[in-house]
Amino acid sequence: MLFVQLRRHLSLLIRLVGVLLAIAVGAGVFLWYFGLPLEAGYAATKAPVLRERPIPIRDSSVTQSPGRKLAFCGCEYAIPWSDLDETKTKVGVNSTVLYFDSGLVTLLKCQPPREFVEGVLSSIKVSPENFRRAFGDSVLQSDYALTSLMLGTTPDEINFRTPHRYQASKMAMLVLKAMATPRADSGMFSIHTEQFDGFQYQDPQRMPDWVLLDLFASDRGLEFQFFLNYHGASPHVSQADINRVVRTVHKISPYSPLKNTSLKQSH
């Protein structure tokens, strides 16, 4: 009798183990195929910018007011505002801060080529060879190439139809996008000029606190930050004003982050 009961318990135990193994295998298969897609979808609910891609700027108009010409980082460009307070201008090692009577504050940054690429490789502690193997050779050639790939990656690319060997690399790029993308809740836009390619974060028509431009060339990078609500001031800055800066910026000398900003009256 005891032997029969033991056999019965052993049979139940074997069936239970079989069920648990089947559940474990099923869960493993599910996580293998659907784990990263589910994680990517969840991440997008916490950071909506992950679903956004840069789009062309809709407003192509350019402000035609006299303004002024400025030189910075071996480049010259025009601003449409004539109320620059030169007494408050602050020049750093590779940055300049401009103050205007309207309350507008503009921060300019000069960056060496591939600064973002080198920063990413250093922070995630991965070799360039492994990075190239995952994302291709071109992505490490310039900050623009890496930024373009990063901003163009969305959770929709990580789904059950995506081969698993590509899911992990796309997820890594999505994580980088969540960490490195400036605030862009009112829009993210692509920029192309004769000498620079880049991105604009925020739409000035939506009255954000600031608008940021990242412009990339093969030998340097330029960053413009327009603070539109500095110390409570709300100066009117339009897309046409920002287009004036973008359309006029051009190189006048080799990359030179240490050269002081010069202020010249526009003709």
Q: What residues does each domain of the chain span?
A: 47-267
| pLDDT, tens only, 171-193 | 888 888 888 999 999 999 999 99
Instruction: Report whether 199 contacts 214 (CB < 8 A).
Output: yes
Q: For residue 168, what pLDDT band results from cuts at 50, 70 and 90?
A: confident
User: What is the percent of the chain where pLDDT is above 70?
Assistant: 76
Asked if residue 199 has pLDDT above 50, the reply is yes
Q: Summarize pLDDT for 216-234 with one digit per residue, the tens.
A: 999 999 999 999 988 888 8
Q: Which are the contacts of 255, defined by CB distance < 8 A and separation ≥ 6?
A: 73, 74, 110, 112, 113, 219, 220
User: What is residue 153's three-state secondary structure?
Assistant: coil
pLDDT of residue 61: 96
CB atoms within 10 A of CB 93: 7
Q: How confident is the model at residue 22 (pLDDT cuts 50, 70, 90)?
A: very low
For residue 168, give the amino acid letter. A
- Whether 40 has a pLDDT exceeding 50, the answer reads yes
Predicted local distance difference test score (pLDDT) of residue 117: 92
Share of the chain above pLDDT 90, in %: 48
Give the pLDDT confidence of 116-155 residue by residue, as tens digits: 999 988 887 777 888 888 888 898 999 999 999 999 998 8
